[in-house]
Structure 1
């Protein structure tokens, strides 16, 4: 009787342990993406502790005597700082030359390059700004880690799948995850590039001074005379056109005036 009692107690204990272990396994498998993302974000915050992710941008307006020469000097400064010109445009409107240059420079060289640019020509306006994207960077990194972890888990399940329906469903989910990973990775690449390479936009301007010479005076006189003559011709043509349009009324008015004057005389 005593042996039966001991056996019963051991059996109950084993059943309880088995039940607890089963519940623990189910809870472990029900970890949500949000919880995993939060844990990974906390780990990344610890690993990134003390490291800020800052985007720097600058704008500078320069008034120069030679736009082309100034742009060449800027290019040489970039080469020395291992930067590059991302985009440049040159144009002329009337007597003004313009140029716009978008520069990319290592963020560590940002301040020194802004100072060097201000020495190339007269500065009419200069601005700089910073944007702290540390939190955004950590969240995006955690999201990518979560998606990749889910992808690896699905790959393992795909190897264990034993029917067509399971394989198709897993492959669909893998495709969706891969698209999300690539999209998030694209945003991460853009963010890292903006952090590593600061952006500086340079606006160059040169107003051409037209000097007055005898040739310019004669040319201006002839130009004014031609404009005056053209204006006179246009006015005469307009007047004649108007007369031709109302000539019937003029004839009727003349006939009426003739008879009226004749009647008055009689």
Structure 2
């Protein structure tokens, strides 16, 4: 940028001033400013030097273009929540909830419905003014036979909004400085170079402005998702009449199931367990026969037999 300014014929302190302004402001687009929103905060040294050298930028008559924006009087809080309600009539409850939210200045931002009959349910997303949040919750609770679940969360985005405002302001100062250089450009290559920088800075300004606006809008209009489900019917206690055909059908089904179990057990026994039992039976029989033979073929008694007495023989 400095070489471009010199080619355009800008000399002396003005060159340094404009260069410092552009360098500092572009750097601020990628990092948060320190001390943003603090009472009595002063501009950074680079900005002060640039302002002192060049004076107020065109369109900034009071010369305070680089002063950081003051913090909002009220904190910016994004609220989100969810309710699960049990109701008697689904359509009636959804209609009543929509009417109550409309009356508080809110609106429906999305809806979803599923199921039918006793299993039907609906999910509605409401955008509600942050100042009417508690009032809306109380009104919606009153529509339910029973509140099944309730949750809410908050996020403070005050610092983010202030920081984005400070970045935008410094980028706008850079844009004005670049535009002043553009007005003095005489060569095409100089015009194209400065125009590229202007386009880049303008893109950053628009991106940050959109982000800031989104945060402010989210803080102004809280998001609440309400799920409606039907109250279950009480269990019927009437005794059903006797149906012989149905009972016979159930008994037949039970008999078939039992017979299938017995047949399955027989098949498994005949194919798997019977051969195994036969094998072990044969082995046990062989062992028993061999052991008996060993017992019979054991060593005999070597004592000679006693001769009978003569008297006893007579």
Is the CA contact 1:41–1:139 (under 8 Å) kept in the aligned structure 2? no
Q: Which residue in the other structure is 2:124 paired with?
A: 101
Q: Which residue in the other structure is 1:115 paired with?
A: 138
Q: Post-superposition shift, 1:123?
A: 0.9
Indicate the structure (1 or 2) with the bigger Cα radius of gyration: 2
Q: Which residue in the other structure is 1:169 paired with?
A: 193
Q: Post-superposition shift, 1:50?
A: 3.6
- Number of matched residues? 238
User: Structure 1 pair 182/215, CA: closer, same or farther in 2 (3 Å)?
Assistant: farther
Name the CA distance, whole Å, in 1 between partners of 2:242 and 2:88.
25
Q: Post-superposition shift, 1:88?
A: 0.7
SS in 1 for 2:101: helix
SS in 1 for 2:125: strand
Please, which of 22, 25, 44 is the counterpart of residue 69 of structure 2?
44
Q: Which residue in the other structure is 2:154 paired with?
A: 130
Name the structure where helix makes up a greater proportion of residues: 1
Q: Which residue in the other structure is 1:56 paired with?
A: 79
Please, which of 5, 16, 21 is the counterpart of residue 26 of structure 1?
16
Name the CA distance, whole Å, in 2 between partners of 1:86 and 1:217.
54
SS in 1 for 2:186: coil
Name the CA distance, whole Å, in 2 between partners of 1:172 and 1:217.
89
Name the structure where strand makes up a greater proportion of residues: 1
User: Structure 1 pair 123/42, CA: closer, same or farther in 2 (3 Å)?
Assistant: farther
Q: TM-score w.r.t. structure 1 length?
A: 0.67
Q: Which residue in the other structure is 2:91 paired with?
A: 68
In structure 1, stretches of 5+ residues that fail to align are 1-21, 232-266
Is the CA contact 1:97–1:207 (under 8 Å) kept in the aligned structure 2? no
In structure 2, stretches of 5+ residues that fail to align are 1-11, 37-42, 44-64, 258-314
Q: Which residue in the other structure is 2:178 paired with?
A: 154
SS in 1 for 2:69: helix
User: Structure 1 pair 28/161, CA: closer, same or farther in 2 (3 Å)?
Assistant: closer
Name the CA distance, whole Å, in 1 between partners of 2:18 and 2:203.
27
User: Would you say 1:189 and 2:179 are equivalent positions?
Assistant: no
Name the CA distance, whole Å, in 2 between partners of 1:49 and 1:62.
36
SS in 2 for 1:44: coil
Q: Post-superposition shift, 1:80?
A: 0.8
CA deviations 1:142-176 (Å, max 9, x no partner) are 11222222222222211111101111111111221
Name the CA distance, whole Å, in 1 between partners of 2:67 and 2:104.
36
Is the CA contact 1:104–1:198 (under 8 Å) kept in the aligned structure 2? yes
Is the CA contact 1:98–1:203 (under 8 Å) kept in the aligned structure 2? yes
CA deviations 1:99-139 (Å, max 9, x no partner) are 11111011111111111111110112222222211111100
User: Structure 1 pair 215/177, CA: closer, same or farther in 2 (3 Å)?
Assistant: farther
User: Structure 1 pair 91/211, CA: closer, same or farther in 2 (3 Å)?
Assistant: farther
Is the CA contact 1:52–1:134 (under 8 Å) kept in the aligned structure 2? yes
